Structure 1
C-alpha cells in the first residue's frame, strides 16, 4: 500500500469501526423486525449501514409489509439498542493501541460519523475517549450524509489538512465511498456485518485497526 503523500491526520468512522455497534444494531434491528413478523437480513442492514438514521430507517420501512414512519421506527429501535448496549458493547480489536500509536506519532485525529451526536458522546464517554479527538462530526453537522463526501471534506478542513493527506478509516461501503469521493486515503476494515460490501475503491482493505500495513503507512508518514 504505497502512498507518496504523508498522512497528516486520521479520520475515524464510529460504528463498526471503533466499536462493535453494528453487531448490537443487528440485534436491535432484528428485535424491531420480529415485532412485525420479519427478520433482519444482510440486505436490509447493508442498505442502512453508514447512513444517517432517518435515511437508514426509510430503507428498513420499505421492507415492511406496511411502511411505517421512519422516525417512529428509529425511536423504537433506539430503546431496544440502548437496552442491549451495556451487555454487548465492546471496542473493536486494536482501537486503543492505534490511538496510542497516533499520539506517539503526534498525528491529529477526528471522528466523522453518520450517527447523532448524543450517540457519539454516549460511546466515547463510556470509554473515556472524548478528549483523545481534536474534532468530532456527526449527522447534525452536515447537510448531506455519507456516501456524499461532505463529512470528510469538512473533517479535513477542520483538522487543517488537504483531504489527500488525511487517512480515513471505514468499515462500510457507504463510508468508504464517502472518503474516496472526498479525495482522502481510505483504508477499509470490514467486519462480519459489512464484509459483503463493495470495497474496491478503497486504497487498502485491512484486517484490523492494528494491521501491519496500516501501521507501516502511518510510520512512513513520520520518517
Structure 2
C-alpha cells in the first residue's frame, strides 16, 4: 500500500471547531426552548449546510424554515469563530511531516466556503494546499463519497492512492466509500463513532502509525 496524495478534513481534525459548533447549537436551541445534545451534534457532523440543519429540525420537530435557520446558525458561528478557534493537538508537527513527505495535500471539508476563508488565513500553510474543497462544492455531503471522489480528481490520482484523515464516522464513511486509504483521528466528540473499513484509528495527529503511512523525506513517489 502506498499513497501519492493526502486529503484532510478540517472541523475536529485540524481545528477544534466542534466545540464552537456545539455552542452554536446550544444558542439556537435555547432560543427555541430545546436542549442541544451530543446525540444531535453527532447526527449533524460531516453533513453540508441544509442537510445538517435538516437533522436539527427533524430531531426537535421544529417548524423553522431551513434556509432561515441556516442563516441564523451562520450568524452565530461567524460571531464566535475567530475568537474561539483553536488548533488540534499536533497540527503543526503533522503539517511539517506532510511537507517533508513531498506529497500534495489539500482540504476537503463540509464547512461553508466563507468560514474556510476566515480560518485558512490564520495558518502558515494555506498557500501550500493543492486544493480546497468545501461544502459549497458538493451536491451530496458526507457520508456520500462525492467530496473524496472530487478530492482524488483534484489530485489527479485514483482514490485508492489517496490518504484521507477524518475525525467523524460520517466523514470516514465517505472516504471509505470513495475507496481511499482512510485514517480516523477521533476527538473527544467522536470517539464513540463507528469507523468501519478504515485502515487505522489513530490516537492523534502525532501518532507514529499515521506518520509511517507517509513516505520518508527524499523518497521517490511512484507515478
Q: TM-score normalised by the shorter chain: which range applies?
A: over 0.9
1:121 touches 1:130 (CA, 8 Å); kept in 2?
no
Q: Distance in 2 between matches of 1:120 and 1:19?
A: 11
Within 2, Cα distance between the matches of 1:190 and 1:27? 19
Q: Contact between 1:108 and 1:134, CA under 8 Å: does it hold in 2?
A: yes
Count of equivalent residues? 219
- Deviation per CA, 1:97-131, whole angstroms, max 9, x where unpaired? 11111111111001111121111111111224320
The alpha-carbon distance between structure 1 residues 86 and 158, as it changes in their structure 2 partners (threshold 3 A), is closer
What residue is the counterpart of 1:101 in the other structure?
A: 97
Shift of 1:65: 4.8
2:144 aligned to 134, 144, 148, which one?
A: 148
Answer with 142-151 or 161-170: which moved more.
142-151
Compute the TM-score of the two structures, normalised by the length of structure 1.
0.93
93-102 or 104-113, which deviates more: 93-102
Per the TM alignment, residue 140 of structure 1 is displaced from its structure 2 partner at its CA by 2.1
Q: TM-score, normalised by structure 2?
A: 0.93
Q: How does 1:7-156 map to 2 (within 5 A)?
A: 7-156=3-152
Tell me which residue corresponds to 2:206: 210
* Separation of aligned partners in 2, 1:51 and 1:65: 19
Structure 1 residue matching 2:182: 3-state secondary structure = strand
Provide the residue aligned with 1:193 in structure 2: 189
Residues 45 and 168 of structure 2 are in contact (CA less than 8 Å); yes or no, is this contact kept in structure 1?
A: yes
Compared with structure 1, are the counterparts of its residues 65 and 7 closer, same or farther at alpha carbon in structure 2 (3 Å cutoff)? closer
Cα offset, 1:142, TM superposition:
1.8
- Counterpart of 1:176 (choices 167, 172, 178) is 172
CA displacement at 1:206 relative to structure 2: 0.7
RMSD between aligned residues: 1.6
Q: Name the CA distance, whole Å, in 2 between partners of 1:195 and 1:37.
A: 29
Distance 1:65 1:102, change over 3 A: closer
